């Protein structure tokens, strides 16, 4: 029983979130053959300021604040 968690930035419309879940279910079914009835998807939305990607915080490069 696949259980897929997706962490995204807040802001997608309800329709887009629903399509994202459909797409994830379809890709999972196509990839591993699971019955769509047993594929579980949960979307966690986070404010952009709570997300760091590739060590960037609010788009800025990481800067060490303490001595090495």
User: What CATH number is attached to the domain comprising 42?
Assistant: 3.30.429.10
Residue 67, pLDDT above cutoff 90: no
What does pTM read for this prediction? Answer: 0.79
- 33 falls within a domain: yes
- 66 falls within a domain: no
Structural domains of the chain, count: 1
The candidate with the shortest Cα–Cα distance to 5, out of 32, 45, 37, is: 45
Domain hosting 33: range is 3-55
pLDDT tens digit string along 12-63?
A: 999 999 999 999 999 999 999 999 999 999 999 999 888 888 888 877 888 8
Cβ–Cβ < 8 Å for 4, 24 = yes
- 68 falls within a domain: no
């Amino acid at each position: 029983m696949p259980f897929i968690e997706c962490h995204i930035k807040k802001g997608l419309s309800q329709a887009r979130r629903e399509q994202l879940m459909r797409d994830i279910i379809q890709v999972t079914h196509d990839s591993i053959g699971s019955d769509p009835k047993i594929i579980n998807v949960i979307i966690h939305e986070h404010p952009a300021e709570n997300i760091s990607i590739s060590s960037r915080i609010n788009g800025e490069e990481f800067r060490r604040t303490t001595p090495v």
